[in-house]
């Protein structure tokens, strides 16, 4: 699901919130090893993102979140609602695809 569909405007987030450092780095290396080259940016999320990081995340077109959790905190849910997720991948977890929400047309009376 993830490698066949990647674009340069995508961001990959590895959910490592509250993980021990050695485990998070191991997963980061494992994920980056399997990505095609050149790869889109890969963000290791170690804690809840601050506002500046959320704005940076929102600058991408699509976000893929790799996480072992089924209930995953989405760093930008207003901008990137979940659209689908993969089957559970051994040792990695789920791959969630979040696509940018299309802007809603506002009614302008007249």
pLDDT for 110 beyond 50? no
Q: Quick: pLDDT tens for 64-108.
A: 888 888 776 677 877 877 777 788 787 778 888 888 776 544 433
> How high is the pLDDT of residue 37?
72
Confidence band, pLDDT 50/70/90 cuts, at residue 52: very high
Q: What is the 8-class DSSP label of residue 95?
A: E
**Distance, CA of 22 to CA of 100 (rounded, Å):** 32
> How high is the pLDDT of residue 19?
85
Stated pTM of the model: 0.78
């Amino acid at each position: 699901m993830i490698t066949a569909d990647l674009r340069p405007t995508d961001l990959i987030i590895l959910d490592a919130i509250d993980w021990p450092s050695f485990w998070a780095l191991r997963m980061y290396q494992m994920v980056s090893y399997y990505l095609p080259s050149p790869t889109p940016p890969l963000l290791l999320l170690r804690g809840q993102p601050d506002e500046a990081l959320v704005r940076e995340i929102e600058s991408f077109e699509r976000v893929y979140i790799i996480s072992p959790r089924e209930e995953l905190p989405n760093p930008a849910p207003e901008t990137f609602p979940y659209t689908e997720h993969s089957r559970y991948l051994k040792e990695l977890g789920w791959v969630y695809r979040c696509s940018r929400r299309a802007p809603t047309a506002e009614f302008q009376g007249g």
